Amino acid sequence: MVNRNLIRELELGDELDQELELAMAGAEDGEYSIGTATLAVNSVLHGKILRVDSEFVLVDVGYKSEGHIPRNEWDETEPPPQVGDIVKVLLEEFEDGQQEEQRGLITLSKRKARRIEDWLRVMESVKENDVVTGYVTRKIKGGLLVDISGVNVFLPASQVDIRRPADIGDYCGRAIQCLVLKIDEARRNIVVSRRALIEQERAERKKQLMETLEVGQVRRGIVKNIADFGAFVDLGGIDGLLHITDMSWGRIGHPSEMVQIDQEIEVQVLHIDREREKIALGMKQRTASPWAKVADKYPVGTVCKGTVVNVMSYGAFVKLEDGVEGLVHISEMSWTKRVSHPSELVKPGDEVEVVVLAINKEKQEISLGMKQTQQNPWEKVAADYPPGAIVKGVVRNLTNYGAFIEIDDGIDGLLHVTDMSWTRKVTHPSEMVDKGQEIECKVLSVDQQRRRIALGLKQMAEDPWTTDIPARYKASDVVKGTITKITNFGVFVGLEDGLEGLLHISELSEDKIENAEEVVKVGDPIEVKILRVDTDDRKIGLSKKRVGWSAEREAAEAVEEV
């Protein structure tokens, strides 16, 4: 049964051969009585050739005047007309002019008479759903004309093939088989379908194929379509999907690297879903998996060469051989360099030397390392930089808690803020050092396992709290300084570069002070008395109110405090 969409295409065939339709329609002008003979327009008659010239052939059909047929109605493939030949003709028209000399002239057609005979002959032998063979004569609007036993039938473009060709004109000049979809005798129209015939044949082959198809079989097929995810292969009645991951044990970017449309290939049946009629195919399964012998070929600890095939944010994939790739994690690329992205060290196509770290045969995963091909520099750090050693380095980075000093290629040590000055309270390393500055430090400790080196800047000099400060600052001494910081419990007074003492709020004045800022401000010079020097806690206690006190008052105050 022809669907509605197809019927719209079929109607295009109504315009294909209007001449034929007119020739075979009934005579609209009725019959003409000529003497004792009755001739009807559009009737087929036998006539005798009387004369042949370059343009017309005169034929006697039993009328008082001859009929004429254009000379070009004789094809080059048939014998030329000869006087005396009997031919079948179609009575096309009576030329009934007003003038006497025009009356009775008739127009004949040999070609249209032959078409009528061809049509009748086809009608005797062809019916709907028959398979017919024809010759594609030309391309027309909406499809092709196909000659079947001298009758032009219509093949719609959508019915040429299962997948519409890029140019249906390529079929011109070819003999093809089609299925008769529709015969309209009243309108003298036949529509055929090559696609329907192919689908019928495929359905039969598909049924036979599904009955014999088994998992594991090796079959030959034709590549019919290629997508990003794989290729569809015609097994001879049904298409199977050859997924890109089943084309090769190695890495491929697109299925077109392995197969081409219309290529004949051998595939193995991997899975059959008979209910949904879906078949999974494989090419690589026809050869042994390279992972079968990976553990024997690449035991842990093996040093081998490979090619970088892909670089991700977490590492680089290295091909050891076709179908065998391993991952070099970003953490396994360098002993010393801080790698933000693997592309800093490698790019696709690079040949690299790697060490096999681990193999997971079930998951088909290999862990590789690049840094393991070189000696770990941290193994000799303890020998090269023992505690107490003086080293030179460049300030590579600053953090809130200290500065990282690069003392060797990829070897950093931490200079903590507490190890920058004996006397100064450093709140940020930028107060003491600048990024890119070259400085000398002392190695304080080396933690080889955690890969840490502690450095000290203040240790480059003697601790003044054990020698110089106690000698220069004694209790009861009156000294001058500058207010450097004000807090809610007192103020800090700078006595010299980096050395500060604490002037508690209770020691600011004889009067009770709630807020130190009522009395002093940062930057003010001030004279204070040293109350105590604590070398263990590295603190100096100061007093402003006691600057003018006598020794007796100091003694009396001490007794009261006790």
Q: How does pLDDT run across 291-302, given as a tens digit for each residue?
A: 888 888 899 999
Comparing CA positions, the residue from 367, 312, 317 lying closest to residue 341 is 312
Cβ–Cβ under 8 Å, residues 78 and 100: no
Residue partners of 460: CB distance under 8 A and separation at least 6: 390, 440, 441, 442
Q: Mean per-residue pLDDT for 188-215?
A: 85
- Cα of 21 vs its chain's centroid, Å: 57
pLDDT at 206: 82
Which tokens sit at 251? 């890495």
pLDDT over 90, % of the chain:
22
pLDDT at 404: 92
Sequence-distant (6+) residues with CB within 8 A of 441 are: 390, 391, 393, 405, 407, 413, 415, 455, 456, 457, 459, 460
Are 239 and 224 in contact by the 8 Å Cβ rule? The answer is: yes
- Compute the average pLDDT of residues 463-476: 78
Percent of the chain at pLDDT exceeding 70: 90
Six token digits for residue 552: 């007796």
3-state helix, strand, coil in the chain (%, to 5): 25, 40, 35
Residue 47: in which H helix or E strand, if any?
Answer: strand 44-52
Instruction: Determine the 3-state secondary structure of 110 from DSSP.
Output: helix
Question: With contact defined as beta carbons under 8 Å apart, do 333 and 342 qualify?
Answer: yes
Q: What is the pLDDT of residue 104?
A: 60
- pLDDT category at 11 given cuts 50, 70, 90 is very low
Domains annotated for the chain, with CATH where assigned, are 213-286 (2.40.50.140), 301-373 (2.40.50.140), 377-460 (2.40.50.140), 468-561 (2.40.50.140)
CA atoms within 13 A on the CB side of 350: 17
DSSP characters for 389-426? -EEEEEEEEE-SSEEEEEEETTEEEEEEGGGS-SS---
Structure confidence at residue 461 as a pLDDT band (50, 70, 90): confident
Amino acid (one-letter) located at 231 = A
| pLDDT at residue 291, rounded to an integer | 84
Name, of 88-92, 416-420, 517-521, the range with top average pLDDT: 416-420
Q: What is the pLDDT of residue 403?
A: 92
Residue 34: what pLDDT?
39
178-209: burial string, b at 16+ Cβ within 10 Å, e else = bbbbbbeeeebbbbbbbbbbbeeebeeebeeb
**What is the identity of the amino acid at 460?**
M
pLDDT of residue 399: 92
- pLDDT at res. 213: 87
Predicted pLDDT of residue 76:
77
Q: What is the pLDDT of residues 105-143, one digit of tens each?
A: 788 887 787 777 777 777 777 888 888 888 999 988 889
Considering only CA atoms, which of 441, 446, 380 is closest in space to residue 407? 441
State if pTM tops 0.95.
no
Confidence of residue 242 (pLDDT cuts 50, 70, 90): very high
* Letter string b/e over residues 483-509, b meaning 16 or more CB atoms within 10 A of that residue's CB: beebeeebbbbbbeebbbbbbbbebbe
How high is the mean pLDDT of the chain?
A: 82
Q: Is the pLDDT of residue 209 over 70?
A: yes
Structure tokens at 318: 């290295």
Most confidently predicted of 158-172, 316-330, 493-507: 316-330
Grade residue 494 by pLDDT with cuts at 50, 70 and 90.
confident
Residue 367 has pLDDT above 90, yes or no: yes
Asked if residue 12 has pLDDT above 50, the reply is: no
pLDDT score, position 128: 83
The C-alpha angle with vertex 111 and arms to 109 and 117, in degrees rounded to 5, equals: 105
Average pLDDT rounded to a whole number, residues 526-534: 86
With cut-offs at 50, 70 and 90, classify the pLDDT of residue 32: very low
pLDDT band of 454, cuts 50, 70, 90: very high
pLDDT of residue 56: 87
Under the banding of pLDDT at 50, 70 and 90, the label for residue 559 is low
Question: Which pLDDT does position 226 carry in this prediction?
Answer: 92
394: Cβ–Cβ under 8 A, 6 or more apart, which residues?
Answer: 405, 406, 436, 437, 438, 439
Residues 520, 555: contact at Cβ < 8 Å?
Answer: no
pLDDT in tens, 402-414: 999 888 877 888 9
pLDDT in tens, 304-361: 999 999 999 999 999 998 888 999 999 999 887 778 899 999 999 999 999 999 998 8
Residue-wise burial string across 254-283, b where 16 or more C-beta atoms lie within 10 A, e elsewhere: ebeebbeeeeebebbbbebeeeeeebbbbb
Of 96-105, 217-226, 339-348, 456-465, least confident by mean pLDDT is 96-105
pLDDT given for residue 281 in this prediction: 94
Kindly tell me the number of DSSP H helices and DSSP E strands found in the chain.
8, 32
Distance CA 61, CA 429 (A): 123
The pLDDT tens digits for 59-107 are 888 777 788 888 887 877 778 888 888 888 878 777 654 444 444 678 8
Residue 481 is encoded by which pair of tokens?
A: 């300084």
The tens digit of pLDDT for each residue in 146-158 reads: 888 778 889 998 8
- CB-based contacts of 238: which residues, under 8 Å, 6+ apart? 202, 205, 206, 209, 210, 277, 279
What is the pLDDT, as a whole number, of residue 19? Answer: 38
